[in-house]
Amino acid sequence: MAASETALRVLEDRHKDAPHQKDLDKCVHCGLCLNACPTYRELGVEMDSPRGRIYQMVQVATGAAPMDEGYLEHMGLCLGCRACETACPSGVEYGKLIEAARTEIQAKIKRPFPWNIVEAFAYETLIPSPLLLRITGTALWLYQKSGLESLVRSSGLLKLMGPFGKIEHLTPEAQLPTFYSQYGKVFFAEGERKYRVALLGGCIGNIFFARLHEATVRVLQKNGCEVVVPAAQGCCGALHAHAGRREEARALARINIDALLQTPFDAIISNIAGCGATLKEYHEILEHDAKYHDKAKVFVSRLKDVNEFLASIDLNTKMGEVKRRVTYQDSCHLCHGQKVKAAPRKLLKLIPGLEFIEMPASDVCCGSAGVYNVIENEMAEQILTSKMRNVNSVSPEQIASSNPGCMIQLTAGARLHGKDKLKSNPEPVKHIVELLDEAYKNAT
């Protein structure tokens, strides 16, 4: 078959959401992204750098290389942290490219049994269902609070569970009541109402970070916000988009747009940076949806990360002291995805008594990346070890974060590799909103 015929067949066979040539062509292969990439920093392998992965996407797109095991391995090892976007002088939208590549893989490559069953259940059934999440969260809470978890950990059974035993320490604490119990409620502002905002709960965040959501409500109330928790909202679709399940992400985006645009809000607030990055891209996810594209743009115009929102208003500074040495780890999807870097630092510096100290390379990924630390645990642990060296170099008592996924990973890192007061702290990691909430409580 002639080369031109092969190329034509490849183009005809491409998935509609595969990486577009115009986006691939933006990369000039300058290599300025290399040192920003966590996997390249650890491995020093060109094919595990943004430039190398884009080269492989081009090869697959043109039919010069097959979508083989090597391609799947290199695409799968990417954290999707998007630090390369910050470093890139050519405006390459790498996050869009890696998600597109994974969408094409998802459509064309059959997952092995039983992973295909587990993945389908998680993404199609469990995560979108508040009922199943509440049942799962309650079962996990009973397992953790009954002492059974401690018994299993001390028994040595985890060593017999292979890869599942290795990731067990990443299991966060289930929290009851879940934040789903607050759906449909309105929380009135303290004092004069200045803003009316909606708060997004997400999916897994409602189970494992219910107290964070409650702290977010209190901090917003302290700052003159009437907080609405819309009952019809659902999962944002971030995990689906990152995994290449684009159509499912679109379906979830439509649900949230319908739920959040029924009532005018001054802002739609997310306190989960990973969710926020996807929420701010709904107009791109629904780019070709004639019914929802314009609605998506309105939704995105109102979406604010909680740090971004609080730093933009006249913040209530009637706080008590939080006497603690704190460093801050940039969430990749807040810093590189949403381009919000100054706001969290501004808020930390406003807390009385808090000693804020920058760590080296704070904007390099901690290895969490959604479910990456579960699926690619070995690399995630390697990246986490490097991250904890930087954390320990400034000897903090606590790490501040803006993303629950990072909080889970960094808590594990503090317990495994932390030193001095950080390792002994029962809460080695806190969301910035939780620190603000603590400061407001200390003022009374």
pLDDT in tens, 315-361: 999 999 999 999 999 999 999 999 999 999 999 999 999 999 999 99
Q: Provide the whole-model pTM.
A: 0.93
pLDDT at 5 over 80: no
Q: Which CATH architecture has domain 3-108?
A: Orthogonal Bundle (1.10)
CATH class of 179-312: mainly alpha
CATH topology for 324-442 is Rossmann fold (3.40.50)
pLDDT digits 0-9 by tens, 139-153: 999 999 999 989 988
Mean pLDDT of 8-24: 78
When mean pLDDT is compared across 45-54, 79-88, 115-124, the lowest value belongs to 115-124
pLDDT of residue 110: 87
Q: Where are the domains of the chain?
A: 3-108, 115-170, 179-312, 324-442
- What is the predicted pLDDT for the residue at 8? 45
Band the pLDDT of 380: cuts 50, 70, 90.
very high
- The per-residue pLDDT for 160 is 75
pLDDT in tens, 93-125: 999 999 999 999 999 998 888 888 989 999 999
pLDDT at 60 over 90: yes
Residue 35 CA, distance from chain mean position: 22
pLDDT of residue 3: 46
> Is pLDDT above 90 for 199?
yes
Same fold, 179-312 and 324-442: no
- What is the rounded CA–CA span in Å between residue 213 and residue 234? 15
**Most confident range, picked from 8-17, 149-158, 182-191:** 182-191
pLDDT above 90 (res 6): no
The pLDDT of residue 12 is 55
Across the range 184-198, mean pLDDT stands at 97
